[in-house]
Amino acid sequence: MEGESEFSLDSVRRVVSPMRFFVLAESLGGVESMINHSATMSHGGMSREERESVGVFDSTLRLSIGIEDEADLTEDLRRGLAAL
């Protein structure tokens, strides 16, 4: 999911805070749904130019969808995005 504005890690935490199913994490190797701000997490050691050259932008949130109920995940995303 990519938006037009830049997300800071703080704004990502605001999105995740009201969520019940998505957790702010990098891959845990499990079946849980996760949300990841790659610019500050998995690619945090790269410069902005390096990140953007591989398609990782400050405005990108990556979702990993787990085995939870689809309706629960949809509501979780609505609740989280309403916090922005």
Per the structure, the count of domains in the chain is: 1
Please provide the DSSP assignment of 39-73 as one string: TTTTTTTS-HHHHHHTT--TTB-EEE--SS-HHHH
| Domain membership flag for residue 40 | yes
Residue 5 has pLDDT above 90, yes or no: no
pLDDT at 53: 96
Domain of residue 36, CATH code:
3.90.1150.10
Q: Is residue 1 part of a domain?
A: no
| Residue 76 confidence (pLDDT) above 90 | yes
* Residue 22 in domain: yes
Assigned domain for 14 exists: yes
pLDDT tens readout for residues 20-40? 999 888 887 889 999 888 888
Report yes or no on 35 lying in a domain.
yes
* Per-residue model confidence (pLDDT) at position 27: 80
pLDDT at 84 over 90: no
Residue 2 inside a domain? The answer is no
Q: What is the domain extent for residue 67?
A: 9-81
